[in-house]
Amino acid sequence: MSSENASPDAAATQAKPAAERAGTRALAQDLVDVPALLAAYAELHPDPANPAQQVSFGTSGHRGSSLKASFNEDHIAAITQAIIEYRAAQGVTGPLLMGRDTHALSGPAQDTALEVLMGNGVHTLIDSREGFTPTPAVSHAILALNAEVPAGGGPSQAGQTGQADGIVITPSHNPPTDGGIKYNPPQGGPADTDATNWIADRANALLAGGLADVQRIPLTEARQHEALGTYDFLDRYVSDLPKVIDLDAIRQARVRIGADPMGGASVGYWGEIGVRHGLDLTVVNPEVDPQWGFMTLDWDGKIRMDCSSPNAMASLIERMRAEGTGENESAGDAPFDIATGNDADADRHGIVTPDGGLMNPNHFLSVAIDYLYRHRHGWPAGAGVGKTLVSSSMIDRVAAGLRRPLVEVPVGFKWFVPGLLDGTGVFGGEESAGASFVRFDGSAWSTDKDGLLLCLLAAEIRAVTGKTPTEYYAELVEQYGDPVYARIDAPATAEQKAKLKKMSPSDVTADILAGEPITAKMTEAPGNGAAIGGLKVTTENAWFAARPSGTEDVYKIYAESFISSEHLAQVQAEAKAIVDAVIA
């Protein structure tokens, strides 16, 4: 999903003024009117001439709210028809796998999509348990099914011919008012920009044409259509976990895991993982509520299932401070050795430790990388470390310490997909708490972000090393330094944002940043040469990156310093001056 719609990570959250009730339990006035939300989905029709109500894909999906006429029945009908036409043009003839999360609008959106898919006779597979499906479970299933199709053609043992692809109906961590839909082609990960642009353009043309070219049948007929089948996403995902996580180590070390689905699609998965693999795992809160009335408010006073936010994760953090049973003295009084959270579609992870609280996503990514590349002996020796260009430079230093090449790409998980598939990039991670990595044998596991996987990895690290991820990160700090990271926003008009997106390195005349010589000025990612849609400037001990927001009249400044908080503030101030001088 688009990082333009992402809320700040834990570090960036702390840099913003918190709403008065941030981190406290939601009250009645904070809750969405679900009947009104569902009524608006069917009754409101977008104005095809209004950009705010058109289909607009971020990295791989469209998001909006039915109350704002930006995510309504018309949108889903048009997007689904566009996806059908796109996959046909690409020669995708296998089944289309469809999952959904727990947002109130996801159920109606799935129904609309089924009416169009069956109207076009597309072989479609939905969850056999009639449950919710995490994004990584859909990605994993696509890869698993496609791996079974013979390379020379012909059907698989299950009778599948042609490559499978998928649709996931989710706005990820967005508030309960929102809905979202994204397309994953046969490579299993987020669709690339060429695909999403084509799908969005075609969907908007269908909207402008009054949906006249959308082929659709009533839901009752769609549910009985011969092209509709089912797939056990949960069984496939949970059964395959020993191929990617050392569950034996977790079980033998008796690591106590507290997993909070945060009311999302992982709710049925965590319990099954614990039971099937014999883990000491407690599902902290199995409640599913389309209003998310059990949540604590995020930094801006909104309900948002952001597992990288200490405000949204406040209840789990507080639970880790509660007095435990004392049965495991090595873990102190905390009830769990590792507590975890996931957003609504479980593509993000939040890691809470007894000794450190909620880990900054950049910190855990650094730990995960250092641990994995030292303990996955079946991985290709020359495989690089994938990171987005706005992730911490601690990762750069860890990669150098591992003697592994760093593959720095633009924002968006789609950039990691080729490496995860061919083994040249066995790990990819984003600063917004999204990551995935390959199996023990080096083959792809999920080419979309996998929050469950990273949460289980935290437990494996605890089991194998005897250290919490917080303790592990402290050792990395001793070796590589202690960075300070934050994101701030600066005002910018649409014209100014367009200028920023088109900047070139030569536009930056400064050669000093916060007292240090500038070592690089980038408008293309060094890992793959793709445009970053902004600017990144680096020095020996600091960097900043500036990117225009896709949803607000601001541009974002990501910055980091290995010197001090004061130095970071200087970097931020000079970064704003550098950018403003070019876009003014």
Average model confidence (pLDDT) for the chain? 93
Q: Out of 172, 392, 393, 432, which one is annotated catalytic?
A: 172
Compute φ and ψ for 329, nearest 5 degrees: -65, -30
**Residue 400: enclosing H or E segment and its boundaries?**
helix 394-402
504 is catalytic: no
CATH number, domain of 459, equals: 3.40.120.10
Range of the structural domain that residue 303 is part of: 237-480
Q: How far apart are alpha carbons 174 and 264 in whole angstroms?
A: 11
- Provide the domain count of the chain: 3
Q: Where are the beta strands (DSSP E) in 12-117?
A: 61-65, 96-100
Mean pLDDT, residues 265-293 taken together:
97
Is the pLDDT at 389 greater than 90? The verdict is yes
Q: What is the pLDDT of residue 332?
A: 58
pLDDT band at 288 (very low <50, low <70, confident <90, very high): very high
5-61 pLDDT per residue, tens: 333 343 443 444 557 899 999 999 999 999 999 999 999 999 999 999 999 997 668
Domain co-membership, 36 together with 137: yes
Q: How far apart are alpha carbons 307 and 555 in whole angstroms?
A: 24
Looking at 179, 200, 231, the residue that finishes a domain is 231
CB burial string 325-338: b at 16+ within 10 A, e below: eeebeebeebbbbb
> Does some domain include residue 2?
no
> Does some domain include residue 271?
yes
Looking at 212, 231, 250, the residue that finishes a domain is 231
Task: Classify strands 425-430 and 434-437 as parallel, antiparallel or unpaired.
Answer: antiparallel
Q: What is the pLDDT of residue 113?
A: 98
> Does some domain include residue 408?
yes
CB burial string 247-260: b at 16+ within 10 A, e below: bebbbebebbbbbb
Looking at 445, 480, 515, the residue that finishes a domain is 480
Domain co-membership, 465 together with 544: no
Domain co-membership, 331 together with 224: no
Domain co-membership, 260 together with 369: yes
> Does some domain include residue 349?
yes
Sign of CA dihedral 427, 433, 434, 439: positive
How far, CA to CA in Å, does 514 sit from each of 4, 351, 396, 484? 28, 33, 20, 14
Let me know: does 160 contact 147? Beta carbons within 8 Å: no
Domain co-membership, 552 together with 489: yes
Side-chain-side CA neighbours of 387 within 13 Å: the count stands at: 24
Domain co-membership, 376 together with 277: yes
Domain co-membership, 165 together with 254: no
> Does some domain include residue 156?
yes
pLDDT band at 550 (very low <50, low <70, confident <90, very high): confident
Q: How far apart are alpha carbons 290 and 177 in whole angstroms?
A: 9
Is the pLDDT at 3 greater than 70? The verdict is no
Let me know: does 106 contact 71? Beta carbons within 8 Å: no
| Coil/strand/helix, residue 169 | strand
Domain co-membership, 377 together with 441: yes
Tokens standing for 274? 């614990």
pLDDT band at 584 (very low <50, low <70, confident <90, very high): confident
Domain co-membership, 257 together with 376: yes
Domain co-membership, 534 together with 548: yes
